[in-house]
Amino acid sequence: MSKSPIALFDSHIHLDDPRYADTLPVLMENAKARGVIGAIIPGTVASAFTNITSITQQYPNCYGAYGLHPYFMAMHTESDLEIVEQYLKKGHAVAVGECGLDAMIDADMDAQLALFKAHIRLALEYDLPLIIHTRKTVDLVLKEIRKHPNLRGVFHSFSGSIQQAEIIRQHNFLMGFGGPVTFDRAQKLQRLVKHLTLDDFVLETDGPFQAGSHRINDLHYPEDLRNIAEYVATLRGDSLESLSHATTTNTKHLFKL
């Protein structure tokens, strides 16, 4: 009996990044040749939303999310949240985000928290999952999530503890893993990935950011999801077929694709 073809789904990639613009058709074909069948494109700033929508129209298996990333707090205006909601009203968004909290940047945490709560409100109102960014803020984010049992979503590029992961599992959220797990120094993260079940996580590149160990000094490409999947499958002792099937199923279920 022949093996099923590998079908991977990138749960988080910034295809709207200008560094992809000139070669995106080729990059998408290369990814398809390596078994990548779709992608979620998270928003970061309101000015990028038009481009995200354009890409999703060009590539049927790419889907847009709309949100305001905490890293760009200085760029966001009060009207940007209204723009997010305008895109949600159109009915094409599969998630709210990328949003969250970041303790590693010079931005007021109270202001970040107010913006994050606004994204939570929109996710609940439009019955959409959240794509959450956390850096040194997992407990703060969990404090807010606990208040809303109906919330669901994904902790993108999760790097927290096993104890935090157990709480996340209990609150309808998945965890996303990508390039960082492939480095030898990431032993804590690797232990976490081995601890989880196949139902608990999704795969991502976060391209062009957070390249894996195979591209230390290079741009991170959509096709690199295959390298990440192969690494995680070997790490866990799973077959690539079972890992790809589970993580793609998890992604499709979370984003209702």
CB-side exposure of 226: number of CA atoms within 13 Å? 15
> Within a domain: residue 66?
yes
Binding-site residues, in ranges, read 12, 14, 98, 133, 156, 206
Binding-site residues for a divalent metal cation, in ranges, read 12, 14, 98, 133, 156, 206
What pLDDT does residue 1 have?
37
Q: What is the pLDDT of residues 19-61, one digit of tens each?
A: 999 999 999 999 999 999 999 999 999 999 999 999 999 998 9
> Within a domain: residue 3?
no
Q: What's the number of domains the chain is made of? A: 1
Q: What is the pLDDT of residues 185-237, one digit of tens each?
A: 999 999 999 999 999 999 999 999 999 999 877 789 999 999 999 999 999 99
Q: What is the mean pLDDT of residues 111-124?
A: 98
Domain ranges, residue 250: 8-255
- Long-range contact set of residues 181-184: C-beta below 8 Å, sequence gap at least 24: 181/228, 181/231, 181/232, 181/235, 182/212, 182/213, 182/214, 182/227, 182/228, 182/231, 183/212, 183/213, 184/213
CATH of the domain at 76: 3.20.20.140
What pLDDT does residue 5 have?
85
